[in-house]
Structures are given as C-alpha cells and as structure tokens.
Amino acid sequence: MRVIGVTGMPGSGKGVVAGIASKMGFEVVRMGDIIRDEAQKRNVTVAEVAVKLREEQGKYVVAERCVMKIKQLEDMKIGSGGTGYHKDRFYMIEGIRSPYEVEIFKKNFKNFKVIAVHSTPKTRFKRLKRRMRFDDSSEISEFEKRDERELKFGIGDVIATSDYMVMNERSIHKFKNILGGILQHEMRNEC
C-alpha cells in the first residue's frame, strides 16, 4: 500500500492533483470532505467546524479519520478477495493542513510523502471566484481570513517541509505532466 499526501493553500490546485492521481488509479481521501460532512451534520459553517472539531477532539482528529477511512477501504479490498496490504494499492490524502497531520500519516503509512502545490494569492483568488464552491468567497477580505486560518493550522510548515513542491501558475498541461511524473515515480518506488 502506498499513501501520498497533497497540501497547498485554497485554490492552489490540490483538486487537480487529486484528479490526476485518481485517473492513475489512486483512491482519493479528501480531508476537506471530512470537515464539510461534519459542518453539514452540525449545521454550521466549514470555517467554524474546522476550528471547533480540532478544539473538541484534538489536533489529530481529521488525520485520524483519514487513516481510519483508508484502513476501512483496505479492509473492504481484503474482504473482497485481497490477502492483505499490498504495495500496488495507492491512496492520496488531499488537503493536509498541519504538521500534526503529517506526523499521524507518517506513523501509519510507511514512506509517506507530501506534494505541495503553490500558486500566488492573486491566482488562487481568481480560481476560487470561478470555482465558487459553497465554502469559497468572492470577497477578498474573506479570502484573506481563510488564508490566515489555514496558516494558523500550520500549513506553511507543511508546505516548507514537503517532499515535492510544484508551482501552478501557468500552463495546466505542464502542471499535469510534472505531477504525473512525480506520481509515476512514487508508484514505482517500493513501499
């Protein structure tokens, strides 16, 4: 089994990375989906639950839920005829935000690596305005608050200590080629 994480500020291109990984056979687990699902259950905003959940259940809670989800997916594969954890099963965890999360993943998954995606704030804001997912804002002040919140989680440290750093500013074709090469390299490496 091989697990790779992806990090980056909102709008940097993490979803593109996850899409490429999915096409290459990776099962994608999105940390943001865990937060969005919890926000929906509680009927509060994503911003509120992102902070509150960690306050209530500890800084590792989202990472622990991702680990549990991957292990459940592995168990389902084993139950459907597999014989145990195999190096040819690939998972991507999208949306790592803190060094604590990286720590949990490294404890649970051998040779865990992190890919960081970087784009300028100007580029990211334009993308979020186009995307307009329910937790995105078209107001620059809200965008800046969101960035501040992400940085308080420690995402800057995760980006700075990542195994790979990929710039996503210009050609989407070039960006996808670079990521495809990184993912192929990691898929070939023994776990």
- For the stretch 57-78, pLDDT in tens is 988 899 999 999 999 988 887 6
Task: Please choose, from the candidates 11, 8, 9, the residue with its C-alpha nearest in 3D space to the C-alpha of residue 133.
Answer: 11
CATH number at residue 73: 3.40.50.300
What pLDDT is attached to residue 191?
A: 47
Distance CA 136, CA 164 (A): 26
- For the stretch 5-58, pLDDT in tens is 999 999 999 999 999 999 999 999 999 899 989 999 999 988 888 888 889 998
Show the domain range for 133. Answer: 2-188
Distance CA 60, CA 67 (A): 10
pTM over 0.75: yes
Domain count of the fold of the chain? 1
What pLDDT is attached to residue 177?
A: 95
φ, ψ dihedrals at 146, nearest 5°: -65, -45
Tokens of 164: 């790979």
